[in-house]
Amino acid sequence: MFAGHFSHRTPSKPAFILSERSSMNGSVINRSVLMLNQNYEPLTVCSAKRAIVLMFQGKAEVIANADGMKIRSVRKEYSLPSVVRLWTYVKVPHKRIMLTRKNILTRDNNQCQYCGTHKGPMTVDHIIPKTVGGKDTWENLVCSCARCNNKKGDRSPEYSGMKLLKRPYRPTFITFIQRNYRIDDPWKPYLFLDSKQFTTIT
C-alpha cells in the first residue's frame, strides 16, 4: 500500500565511489575539468573526481588530459583529465545566468565601468536611474566603484558626463567560465579562446 509513496524517493547514488584507500591527492582530485556536452558545447565545470567517476561509469570520454598530471589509485595510474565529453546529449533549455549583484560584478570583472579601477568596494549602478524608470536588467546595470557611483548620483551618464568603458550585455555561460576559472590550454578551443581570438576577447 506504500508502493506509490516509496516510488517518489530519490534513487540511490551510483555504486561507484573512489576508494578512500587510493592515494589520490586531494587538491589534484578537486582540479577543475571542463565538461562538454555530446555536441562539444561547454556544459559545465566539474571536479576531476566527478569527471573520473563519469568516465568509469562509461558516461564520458576524455578529450584532453591535464599536462603531465597523474592520479594514482591502488592498482593503477591515470592521466588527469582536463576536458571530458559526455556520450549522451544533455538538454539544457534554460541555462541563463541569473541577474544578481554578484553576477553583475563578475561579468564586469570587478572593474568600475566608469573609471576602470579594480580597487575598493564595488557597487552596482543603474545606468538609467531607477527614479527615471531605469530597469533592473543586464543592459542597465554595471559595476561601479563607490566613488563613481557617488559622483554620478541620480543622473544618467548623459547628464553626469561619465562614459562607460563598454556597453553592458547579457553574459553567456561561457563568459562565466572565462571569468570564474583558471583556463587550462585544452579548454580554449571550446570557449572560443583560440590563440588568435584570445587577444580580441577580453
Query: Can you give the binding site for Zn ion, defined by CB under 5 A?
Result: 112, 114-115, 145, 148
Smallest gap from Cβ 125 to Zn ion, in A, equals: 9
Using the minimum distance from each CB to Zn ion, give the nearer residue, 84 or 148: 148
The residue among 86 and 165 lying less far from Zn ion, judged by its C-beta, is 165
CB 157 to Zn ion: min, Å: 13
| Rounded Cα gap, residues 121 and 97, in angstroms | 23
CB closer to Zn ion, 129 vs 186: 129
Smallest separation (angstroms) from Zn ion to the CB of 139: 19
Of 114 and 187, the one with the shorter C-beta distance to Zn ion is: 114
* Minimum distance, C-beta of residue 112 to Zn ion, in the bound complex (Å): 3
| Closer of 95 and 119 to Zn ion (Cβ) | 119
CB of 168 to Zn ion, least distance (A): 15
